[in-house]
Amino acid sequence: MGRQNKRVRRRFKLWHGIVGLLLLLFVLFRVSGSLKLKKQIEVLRAQGYPVTLEELDRWYNIPEGAKNAADVYMAAFSNYVEWDGDAQRALPVFGKASMPGRTQPLDASPRQLVEKFLSDNEKTLTLLHEAASIEHCRYPIDLTKGSVDLMERPGSPASWVEDLRAGTRLLRLEALSHCESRDLDKALKSIHANFALAEFIGAPLLVHRLIHNSVQSRTYESIERMLNRMQLTDEQLLSLSAWIEESRSDNGYIKALVGERCIGLSVFQGPVGQTTDQMGAGKGKAPILMLGFWKMLGLHYRDAVGYIGLMQEYIDAMDLPSDERLLVFDSIQEKVDSGKRGGLLTRLLWPALARTLEHETRCTAEALAAQTALAVERYRLAEGHLPESLEDLVPAYMEAVPKDPFDGRRLRYFTRENGFVVYSVGDDLTDNGGAERDGRGRDRRGKPLPWDITFIMER
């Protein structure tokens, strides 16, 4: 009996020892993971990056006491007059009325509608132009709330995206009207106001950056139409080129990546319920239990460290030429999607950053094509004929021929009987001969025809 009790006590002590050792290893695992994450966060903070939502909110600021253009923009949006559905649908830009060709005038009937709509929104347009003259802008958004309700405009149930869409369309319509009346100075002011409106969307978030790029893309279309309809002076062409150059900074996209990293870190470190809400992981017990178990084991610490590293690789890649950074982004995205990089939370949380960079690169290509076309126009104005190649523009009109941000080669250019085309090969990396994008163009299987990113002059 005594021997049996001794064996039981030995097994009991052995079992306790194993449990104690496992608990010790578990605690060490959690503590070491927590310390690694804290160290990584402090490195970022020492580099001047925000690492919490509170720091991000303070990081997105304007000089103390400076006038805030956002206040004027908000007043402009609140004065916007929206027509009833059928009436507004009869408008170009806003509705279903098709735009005339880039060299063609607007017909009398839609032109009258445009003038009436612009007249009804005179107050909004005045305020949009006033805001464009103000240097600093801080959109009134509370970044401490993370990704929840960021699409809501403060003080209104309406989406701020709808406000911005209305604002940029209104300025495009105004530029169109001034082109029709041959008032070049006013048309230029409308275009400048649209560039300024794009800068209004400056919060360090990817969703804001994508909208910013969309506004700029529509502004390049207005420039293309204006150049096809009117002859600009060399000074006016230079002003347009300068506005485009100011709009081309990669800094806004880098800030958006930093903002997304802060939101990601808040998800890693927040309560499980908040994490599932912010990630859109759905209701019910299953997502909460899964994430709760993941965090209980301390796996989220190492997952967060890996997330920081991945995001930093993206930010560092922005120092590379555009075509090379696209390859880096695609490589990282593929590894995350396949499970080779990142833990559970990283893969659930990870935004499609490779897609957002494509959007950013497309906007860059549009800007470079527009700037190059302006330089070609300056050459034609001075020399009386078009350049035979873009090399003819160097160094008098451009420092160097711009490189296509998609493939790293020089932008393409060719002349036509009545003008010229400057273009980038675009996302598919295929030279389609300067084919213009046309949503109506389809092949026999109904797929859109291939196209390039073009700036076309027909004058």
Average pLDDT, the chain: 85
User: Which pair of structure tokens corresponds to residue 249?
Assistant: 């900074």
Q: Which residue has the higher pLDDT, 278 or 149?
A: 278
Average pLDDT over residues 276-280: 53
pLDDT score of 18: 65
Average pLDDT over residues 324-351: 85
Task: Say yes or no to pLDDT of 442 above 60.
Answer: no
pLDDT tens digits, one per residue of 36-48: 889 999 999 999 9
The pLDDT confidence band at residue 292, using thresholds 50, 70 and 90, is low
pTM recorded for the entire structure? 0.88
Question: Which residues 6+ apart lie within 8 Å of 289 measured at CB?
Answer: none
Contact 354, 330 (CB under 8 A): yes
Q: Which residue has the higher pLDDT, 26 or 315?
A: 315
pLDDT score of 348: 75
pLDDT score of 152: 46
Cα–Cα separations (whole angstroms), residue 237 to 190, 225, 366: 15, 14, 16
Q: What are phi and psi of 410, to 5 degrees?
A: -70, 150
Average pLDDT over residues 372-385: 97
Contact 164, 215 (CB under 8 A): yes
Average pLDDT over residues 117-136: 96
Task: Say yes or no to pLDDT of 156 above 60.
Answer: no
The pLDDT confidence band at residue 148, using thresholds 50, 70 and 90, is very low
Least confident of 143-152, 240-249, 257-266: 143-152
Least confident of 25-29, 33-37, 410-414: 25-29
